[in-house]
Amino acid sequence: MVKAIMHGCNGKMGQVISNLVKEDDGIEIVAGIDKYTGVKNEYPVFTDIADCDVEADVVIDFSNALAVDGLLSYCGEKKLPVVLCTTGLSEEQLAQVQRVSEKTAVLKSANMSLGINMLLKLLQDAAKILAPAGFDIELVEKHHNLKVDAPSGTALALADSVNEALGNAYEYVYDRSKERKKREKKEIGISAVRGGTIVGEHEVIFAGADEVIEFKHTAYSKAVFGKGAVEAAKYLAGKQAGLYDMSDVIESSSENQ
Ligand SMILES: NC(=O)c1ccc[n+]([C@@H]2O[C@H](COP(=O)([O-])OP(=O)(O)OC[C@H]3O[C@@H](n4cnc5c(N)ncnc54)[C@H](O)[C@@H]3O)[C@@H](O)[C@H]2O)c1
Ligand SMILES: O=C(O)C1=N[C@H](C(=O)O)CCC1
């Protein structure tokens, strides 16, 4: 049985995962970390990860970018594998993720769903055909009104995947209101919509002369992210130091079927 610490246990995703693991014989939550303490849990909760003295095999993190520095120090020091799902990390934090992954296993993914992880691959083929044929690339993401980071981590990951396939030659444009000029050929426009309870929508638009191709993923519940994170935690426990992503989890589960 994999023993997990849930970092951000009293948030929306922390609670989704706390409920999912109750139905799973392969993993249990042995401790939670959250600065908000107004939720009753079946495991001990610490307000700061530095105070957590519970032995575990892995940490699952859905918290806040400001909480990630302390989490990375803790996991690096204890050589404790961590599934990092929080988005909106700074360049400095991304460099820290890289350094910590030399000491312990780190799986970082802005989106734990199977659909988005498949899309990351599909888009590379599409981009290699459509961009040289003159198609413009635009991305639109939509999320609930409680989301603090924009654009979403997933939108950036999708753009990075497209850009990688195109030799990283494209610039990202988030706001067209400041300059009055036509779009450049080598740019990816990224727009964010926030409202209501939208769980998560991502559209990648390839717009050409007289034809448009759209790839769209819609998450209808937070459980798609939760299930992916639980699988990732079971996969990562006991792994050697290094940087992993959801493609490793998906490959290993298809090999085991
Ligand atoms: N990778 C994915 O698939 C995926 C899916 C959904 C959400 N997310 C990301 O996960 C993060 C959390 O999402 P959410 O909807 O659960 O948010 P949320 O605001 O509901 O929950 C975050 C929790 O973290 C806690 N927290 C904040 N600072 C803390 C600290 N210093 N120490 C301990 N706990 C702290 C908050 O009190 C809160 O309970 C966001 O960055 C979101 O973008 C990623
Ligand atoms: O609800 C959120 O917040 C989500 N965040 C991730 C992102 O920023 O891409 C994944 C989708 C849900």
SS3 state at 55 = coil
Active site residues: 143, 147
Residue 119 pLDDT greater than 80, yes or no: yes
Which ligand has the shortest distance to the CA of 143?
2
Each residue of 217-257: pLDDT tens digit? 999 999 999 999 999 999 999 999 999 999 999 999 888 87
86: three-class secondary structure by DSSP: coil
DSSP code of 62?
-
Mean pLDDT, all residues of the chain: 97
Average pLDDT over residues 39-67: 98
pLDDT in the model for residue 143? 98
pLDDT-based confidence at residue 23 (cuts at 50, 70, 90): very high
Cα separation, 184 vs 179, whole angstroms: 12
117 lines ligand 2 (CB under 6 A): no
Name all domains of the chain by residue range, CATH numbers in brackets: 2-108+222-255 (3.40.50.720), 114-219 (3.30.360.10)
Tokens of 46: 């610490």
Ligand 1 centroid vs 89 CA: distance in angstroms?
12
Q: pTM of the predicted model, to two decimals?
A: 0.97
Mutate which of 37, 64, 197 for ligand 1? The one with the most ligand atoms within 8 Å of its CB, which is: 64
Count CA atoms closer than 13 A to 38's CA, side-chain side. 3
Q: Point out the ligand 2 atom lying closest to the alpha carbon of residue 110.
A: 9
Nearest CA to ligand 1 atom 5: 225
Q: What is the pLDDT of residues 163-218, one digit of tens each?
A: 999 999 999 999 999 999 999 999 999 999 999 999 999 999 999 999 999 999 99
Asked if the model's pLDDT at residue 65 lies above 80, the reply is: yes
Is 110's C-beta closer than 6 angstroms to any atom of ligand 2?
yes
Instruction: Check if the beta carbon of residue 93 is closer than 8 Å to that of residue 68.
Output: yes
Q: Closest ligand 1 atom, CA of 33?
A: 33
SS3 content of the chain, % helix, strand, coil (to 5): 35, 25, 40
- The best mutation among 16, 17, 64, 87 to test binding of ligand 2, ranked by most ligand atoms within 8 Å of the C-beta, falls on 87
Q: Is the dihedral of CA 46, 47, 51, 56 positive or negative?
A: positive
Question: Does residue 147's CB lie within 6 angstroms of at least one atom of ligand 2?
Answer: yes
